[in-house]
């Protein structure tokens, strides 16, 4: 009888790349969240005009950006807890999700 070797059964260090598919998905969604956040910060936020397309596009863009941050953290947390992922590239998106939750709850509790 031979033992099955799972992808996470070997010693994986914190500084290695993700070894699970969920870990890579978490990393990819985290990169997408960062890119969307940077575009929002440097392209959309400095706009001073109030064009009609902005009122249509920007709310959906913001919701999609926040959902990417939450999804990256959720997949990272699942990869860490259920698949035994140890890579920092899977832990970092969990911080993105916590930041998104902090901002959303802050906006709900203290609207401006």
Contact 94, 80 (CB under 8 A): yes
Higher pLDDT, 90 or 65: 65
- What residue ranges do the domains of the chain occupy? 21-109
How do residues 52-87 score in pLDDT, each as one tens digit?
888 899 999 999 999 999 999 999 999 999 988 888
Distance CA 58, CA 52 (A): 10
C-alpha to C-alpha distance for 108 and 32, rounded to whole angstroms: 25
Location of structure tokens 């969604």: 29
Q: Report pTM.
A: 0.82
| pLDDT tens digits, one per residue of 24-55 | 999 999 999 999 999 999 999 888 888 888 88
């Amino acid at each position: 009888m031979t033992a099955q070797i799972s992808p996470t059964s070997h010693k994986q260090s914190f500084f290695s790349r993700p070894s699970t598919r969920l870990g890579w998905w978490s990393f990819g969604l985290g990169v997408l969240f960062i890119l969307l956040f940077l575009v929002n910060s440097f392209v959309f936020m400095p706009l001073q005009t109030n064009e009609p397309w902005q009122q249509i596009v920007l709310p959906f863009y913001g919701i999609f950006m926040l959902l990417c941050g939450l999804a990256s953290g959720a997949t990272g947390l699942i990869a860490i807890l259920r698949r035994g992922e140890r890579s920092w590239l899977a832990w970092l998106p969990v911080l993105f999700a916590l930041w998104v939750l902090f901002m959303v709850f802050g906006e709900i509790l203290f609207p401006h």
